[in-house]
Structure 1
Amino acid sequence: MADDPIAIFDAWLADAGRSEPNDPNAMALATVDADGQPSVRMVLLKGHDDRGFVFYTNRESRKAGELAANRHAALLFHWKSLRRQVRIEGPVTRVTDAESDAYFATRSRASQVGAWASDQSRPLDDRATFEARYTEVEARFPGDVPRPPHWGGYRVAPSAIELWEDRPGRLHHRRLFTRTDGGWDEGLLYP
């Protein structure tokens, strides 16, 4: 078999871009804290290549704390309209400051200001507190908004990629790719 799972993912993501009504790049990110408690949430894929799959977040958030405690994660893309999903597992590293700066510069001003104003994942007494902080940050940066030092990207380097396609009678087609030194080994899984 030995196809390239990244090339297949590229084609599937392009298909999803044409068929999914919102955020074809949305993926579930599963992490585990220091006590082994799992946690999952939706994030957006902001880049990928042979090195891995990249997302950005507040590095003081719950997910960042969990990634600091356990440097492994799982991703799941589910494109219901295409009846496909992709599971990815692997170790996680931070992207470089240069990569984080470059991506941050492409975000909308509101998202940039929000990255400074939000204490992501921490308790908030009421919405007015956040909105006041947002207004303060907006006034502090009347021009370009620099990337906050506590905000940046993470890359999940795939050690395994499963490509799942729905089939009638729940006889799904599942291909599992496992990274090797020379590329990828491919096998099938029972549905």
Structure 2
Amino acid sequence: MLFLTFLKIMHLSGLMAGFGGALYTDYLMISGGILRPLKPQTLIEVKRLSRVVTWGLVLLWISGAALAYEAYLTNEVFLENEKFWAKMVMVVILTLNGFFVHYVVLREAERSINKRLLIDSPLPVLVLLAATGLISFVSWTLPFILGKASEFSYVLPFGLFMSVWLILVLSAVAGVLSLVALHDLWTRYQAKGTRRPHHQNLCADRAVVA
């Protein structure tokens, strides 16, 4: 019983470190890399937080595997719970996405110092940054919610859980890309509004001379 309590505390600690670190990383990237140009100090903080998230994932994997084994010993039909397998797939995606962020996205961010991520990025980089960030957010949030929704256990199918995950990711990415596109259109509109046509400038100059 004491060991089971230890595993639950370990699992909660991993969740707090991983999910909390991921949320704070998103906050730093939005406030210090999207709304304002990315500074070297912000990137250093993001890299430090990525290590915290990594250790959170390690704790989740170790404690989660032990808790699942314990649940199987006390409930022979535990592995028939499709919600459990959906959560496992989401955590696998989260882990793979973490490796991708560490080895690809952060290196791409290093080349974007003094630029605003998303807004000043080319389209491929824009899609890459939006997708990885939102996959991380959804893959942390949805398993957390499912973990508290015991009424879904042994009731809803695996495909439904993964469909919800996919819809959330695609909708979030589409929303971010739409906001960036609207921001770009608004910026161009404002730029045109501040420039008077050449013939209007000539007419104004002639009026002054007259």
TM over 0.5: no
Bigger fraction of residues in helix: 2
Bigger fraction of residues in strand: 1
Larger Rg belongs to: 2
Using the size of structure 2 for normalisation, the TM-score is 0.20
Using the size of structure 1 for normalisation, the TM-score is 0.21
